[in-house]
Amino acid sequence: MKRNYLLFVLTALVIIVLDQITKVYIDTHMTLHESIPVIQGFFNITYVRNPGAAFGFLADASPIVRALFLIGVSIFASCLIVYYIVQMKTEDILLTYGMSLIMGGAVGNLIDRIRLGEVIDFLDVYISTYHWPAFNVADSAVSVGAVILFYKLIRGQV
């Protein structure tokens, strides 16, 4: 079981550090709304800030309500993940990895919310004029972790 704890902590830490390094780099080397084409017609690095949650959820809510809700949900979810990891009866490496990706992503964005009151996003995927909402390393980790958990769930292994 200790191997799961080490995998969980190391993976979450790698995601948090990578997420924060990329956000600091974007914040210090680009101006807000600046965009750098990477793959013309498909992918840009575009510096934006998101005061809400995924897809701008709560972006129009009052700053105090938004902050309390999003910080509270992040802390609650993090506590649930840690509780689940501690209670796991098996050494399911894939499940642990999925949970650690979600944890690292949640903490990465939580740091931004506490520090800035919003989240730095910069990965801009699009086709023609149709843009997926900008995201970051933390969002990517949460998404991959959720896919892993969904896979384990439909296989009846959660």
Which residues carry out catalysis?
121, 139
Q: What are phi and psi of 78, to 5 degrees?
A: -60, -40
Q: What is the CB neighbour count within 10 angstroms for residue 57?
A: 13
Contact 64, 104 (CB under 8 A): no
Alpha-carbon distances, residue 100 vs 1, 12, 51, 110, 136 (angstroms): 15, 5, 24, 15, 17
For the beta sheet containing 130-131, the strands, ordered from the edge strand earlier in sequence to the opposite edge, are 35-39, 43-50, 119-127, 130-131
The Cα 32–Cα 47 span in angstroms is: 5
Alpha-carbon distances, residue 102 vs 24, 36, 136 (angstroms): 21, 28, 13
